[in-house]
Structure 1
């Protein structure tokens, strides 16, 4: 998504509600999150290979044209006339410089260099690719003794509302629109350390769409074949050739988006955590951006060189599904990070279990043991006590009894639970805890494996 977005014209837009200035650019900031060794680089390389090929072709084009230009310029200078009558015609025949070199992507570049690229190719977007996004986050102000506006440039660049800078030496950059998407990867622990207390007051982290790569063993494939997504190069090239345009939702798609936007607004204002409120707020615009990019991908794959200006209902449905996925990833990052740091009223232990509950939708003692390494040797009975405590606090509902007890997170579960005051419920929960402790005495203290199979 970020790579395709980086190939679109900077003036490509989705007009959600022009009456209130709700117009979104085709800009995506995306990051893969995982621990070291989970092969994030091969994933990035597969997406980047097509852009690398296009960049190599562009380099060859520019070098060839530049050599030809230099040759023609030398011949032209040798033909300089001595009389004034022929000088005007000679000046008119001066060779024209080739089209400037276009950047498809950049890796190691300062913010000043990035702004210069934007100025050199005002009609062309590009991608900032960082195998380690931590390098970007830690580089803010690195060449200015910590001062400067590097972070602000990245934050404002997400809006695509242009650049106006007067650089040292008198150079100026003035653009109405600009567009640079970002794609990279970062270790989860490193990201959580950058996020700090997860309040995200600047909206920095909510500008990124995060996708966690689960810890999983990789079996080598049988045989040895080349894995390529060759169609991506053609897709990128076709996207680069699209004219700037402003798109809108079809009538039924607009109704669907409006309904989802209202639901997000309700979730935003009712959520107790500032960081999640920021993420939900940004997802309102991101849903429109995702719908736009998905629409253009579908149109280009159908060989429509002039895509329909109306985004259909199906693309908005797909965009909403993606938005919900990305919000779930933010929830998981926040909950696991808060648990690791001991933040939040639930404490480290219950926060970690709650994070897994939101990730998997339901939990048993065995599932906790298999997914939270530092609770792997904990007694199943104690873990079931934790599940009961979370249910008592309003985080999900209990299903089953004894060794088969599980906690289920569903659509009726509130994001801001409060401890129940119903006396009957309290007595029932307490009785359940007593019964479980009695069962623990009668049964061996072995890990619960009833749900150990990954689906």
Structure 2
């Protein structure tokens, strides 16, 4: 599961994805038009439409489209709960959509025969992506989803809001890097085009000995950490081992021009491990949020808001935005306690009184 930054998704890789899908759509429409005007005696099977991502689908439709796109099909939703809440919708809530999603994650062969079609997908690949508010994470990490393994399959990506918003100049600089500096854009598009080119090609990729050792040691580290954490977190750590190798393969193809012929290098493995550390931290935060008491969650809300305000703010500026979840009285008491614990400190600037993060 992903929290994402809309600006970069819409204008960076997301824009390339959208362009590619529009190109495939136009090509498919032309093929269908030609097919419809073909003489029935020599008419081939109806052309299939290439897709990379889809949304607002029943699981039945998703599987049907995957059968036409054997390399995989991403399921994207603004709200990940929209996917989970829609489980079983095709059969009026009586289906086994949840069990199907659990099977899809494993990447094994999948059969979904219907009265009209004997659908079969080899090497299933259906990544699902969407956002969720932190206060709703417990709707994913709960007893039911933990016991059947659904929660552990999510790859959490916690979006940290910068203390200070990017300046207009910095935003212009980012836009220039992405779209106006042709070298940067051409590099990004070149990577994307290579991924498109190999999308439907089966390829076995080998690793050199050093890369293999780095990944094996990190996988062992994940197993060790799994045994130190909670029962809920154990399964998540174990699933991260699979993500480690999937991510390594992605980094390999994004960074090597001759990726088909080259072995995964030690450098690639180290890059993948660095990225995995970010996902581990996001996972720990997600599970930590669920395991918190109500008072601890409110204290975190105060600290997060103070961080968003630049690490220093007046009491009213902290309490006002979070008043729906933390009352003014509770906020005052918690801030006082955090000051006593040394997490926050009170400072004065003239007649104004501020609260400040100790480690800004």
TM-score by length of 1: 0.62
Taking the aligned partners of 1:120 and 1:184, their CA distance within structure 2 comes to 23
* Aligned residue in 2 for 1:133: 80
- Seen in structure 2, the aligned counterparts of structure 1 residues 193 and 379 have a Cα distance that, compared at 3 Å, is closer
Q: Structure 1 unaligned segments of length 5 or more: list them.
A: 1-29, 34-39, 78-90, 343-347, 389-401, 405-445
- Structure 2 counterparts to residues 33-48 of structure 1, below 5 A: 40-46=5-11, 47-48=13-14
- Seen in structure 2, the aligned counterparts of structure 1 residues 264 and 99 have a Cα distance that, compared at 3 Å, is same
Q: Please give the per-residue CA displacement for 1:341-361, whole angstroms capped at 9, x wherever unaligned.
A: 53xxxxx3399569979xx9x
Does the Cα contact within 8 Å between 1:350 and 1:386 map onto a contact in 2? Answer: no
Does the Cα contact within 8 Å between 2:72 and 2:124 map onto a contact in 1? Answer: yes
Whichever structure has more helix as a proportion of its residues is 2
Pair 1:306-2:260 in alignment: yes
Taking the aligned partners of 1:379 and 1:125, their CA distance within structure 2 comes to 48
Question: Pick from 377, 392, 398: which aligns with 2:332?
Answer: 377
Instruction: Please say which structure displays the higher CA radius of gyration.
Output: 1
Shift of 1:305: 6.5
Shift of 1:447: 5.0
Shift of 1:137: 1.0
Q: Structure 2 unaligned segments of length 5 or more: list them.
A: 180-184, 347-352
- Seen in structure 2, the aligned counterparts of structure 1 residues 234 and 355 have a Cα distance that, compared at 3 Å, is farther
* Aligned residue in 1 for 2:139: 193
Shift of 1:236: 3.3
Taking the aligned partners of 2:117 and 2:46, their CA distance within structure 1 comes to 22
- Seen in structure 2, the aligned counterparts of structure 1 residues 199 and 100 have a Cα distance that, compared at 3 Å, is closer
Taking the aligned partners of 1:208 and 1:248, their CA distance within structure 2 comes to 27
Taking the aligned partners of 1:234 and 1:366, their CA distance within structure 2 comes to 43
Does the Cα contact within 8 Å between 2:253 and 2:259 map onto a contact in 1? Answer: no
Question: Pick from 129, 148, 157: which aligns with 1:202?
Answer: 148
Pair 1:114-2:70 in alignment: no
- Structure 2 counterparts to residues 56-95 of structure 1, below 5 A: 56-71=22-37, 73-74=38-39, 94=42
* Aligned residue in 2 for 1:101: 49
Question: Pick from 21, 34, 49: which aligns with 2:15?
Answer: 49
Q: Please give the per-residue CA displacement for 1:13-32, whole angstroms capped at 9, x wherever unaligned.
A: xxxxxxxxxxxxxxxxx310
- The aligned length equals 328
Does the Cα contact within 8 Å between 1:198 and 1:275 map onto a contact in 2? Answer: no
* Aligned residue in 1 for 2:278: 325
Q: C-alpha root-mean-square deviation of aligned residues, in Å?
A: 3.8
* Aligned residue in 2 for 1:294: 251
Taking the aligned partners of 1:355 and 1:174, their CA distance within structure 2 comes to 51
Does the Cα contact within 8 Å between 1:210 and 1:326 map onto a contact in 2? Answer: yes
SS at match of 2:132: strand
Shift of 1:126: 2.2
